[in-house]
Amino acid sequence: MHKKILNFPDGTACGSHLRKDLTLGRASEVSEIHKKKYPVELICRINDGKHYDRDVSDDQKDMELLKRDPVADTVTDYGELGSTIESLAQLKAMPGVRAELAMLSLGRGYTNNCVLNNGKWTSGVHLYWWSRRRLSHIPEVQVTDLRSVGATQLSRQIDLTSWSLVMLRLTFIEDIITYARCEGDPLGKISSLTEQAALSLNTFNLNNLAKWIKSEAIPQLDAQLSKNRYVELANQLHSERTGAEAQQNAALDGDSAGDSSPPES
């Protein structure tokens, strides 16, 4: 992961980029194309594929300025202490759409990495449940949340941002459904939520989207993953992690004992 500030975020990319606006299958296909065009270790211009030092910064002063913002501070520290889920939990607890956007974007990458490294779909079950609870809520976007409005009317930009965040919730949940389907879990029986939404909604209307989620999407989700089942899966996941940590600690203790020198006679 790059620990750099993007000075030209709209015009740069790298080989490890995962599109947040695409569903898992398409995002994975585009990611493979990205890897062939852009190096993983460098952030390059999209138009010419070249790296320019001025496009990024890891200057300590810049980092300290960034850390004055709570969301940016948490994102900057993501994975620093080896506990990525802790950072995601911190973002979940923060108010505002920027924190949720960061949680969902990082959460997609977190779950994808877990599955790619032989993890189970349940590695994202907490993120799934947090997103499920917010799914039908229309985000309260503030003017201060926007970073660029272009030539779009401000009220329209607010609506577009809210719509994008709700769709990102759906997309993340659809990711989890896809992973569950690959493992034969009942949650995987649900067909594409984003496609269902597109077929059911004829116009761009946040209220209609929220109503569709309440009446159509949530009943499907809860039929396959109720709160009781979520609690069971969460407890099982906790037990597996506790057991793995205990085995790791025992191995470390054994190594330490083996390294100890015998007492002098």
Model pLDDT, residue 25: 84
pTM for the whole structure = 0.83
**Residues 162-201 pLDDT 10s:** 999 999 999 999 999 999 999 999 999 999 999 999 999 9
What is the DSSP secondary-structure string of 134-198? HTTSPP---GGG-S--TTS-HHHHHHHHHHHHHHHHHHHHHHHHHHHHHTT-GGGGSPPHHHHHH
- Residue 133: what pLDDT? 94
For the chain, the structural domain boundaries read: 1-65, 96-243
The pLDDT, as a whole number, for residue 111 is 92
3-state per-residue secondary structure call for 192-259: CHHHHHHHHCCCCCHHHHHHHHHHHHHHHHHHHCCHHHHHHHHHHHHHHHHHHHHHHHHHHHHHHHHH
Q: What is the pLDDT of residue 253?
A: 59
Q: Which two tokens stand for residue 131?
A: 């997103």
Q: DSSP 3-state assignment of 12? A: strand
What's the confidence (pLDDT) of residue 256? 54
pLDDT tens-place values along the chain, 265 residues long: 557 888 888 888 888 887 878 888 888 888 888 888 888 888 989 888 889 999 999 888 988 998 899 999 888 888 775 668 888 999 999 999 999 999 999 999 899 889 989 889 999 999 999 999 999 999 999 998 887 767 788 889 999 999 999 999 999 999 999 999 999 999 999 999 999 999 999 888 999 999 999 999 999 999 999 999 999 999 988 887 776 555 555 555 565 555 555 555 4
- Rounded to whole angstroms, how far apart are CA atoms 124 and 109? 10
Give the long-range contacts of residues 109-118, CB within 8 A, separation 24 or more.
109/18, 110/84, 110/85, 111/175, 111/176, 111/179, 112/18, 112/24, 112/175, 115/179
User: In the prediction, which pLDDT does 265 show?
Assistant: 41
128-172 per-position pLDDT tens digit:
999 999 999 999 999 988 877 677 888 899 999 999 999 999 999
Predicted local confidence at residue 209, as pLDDT: 95
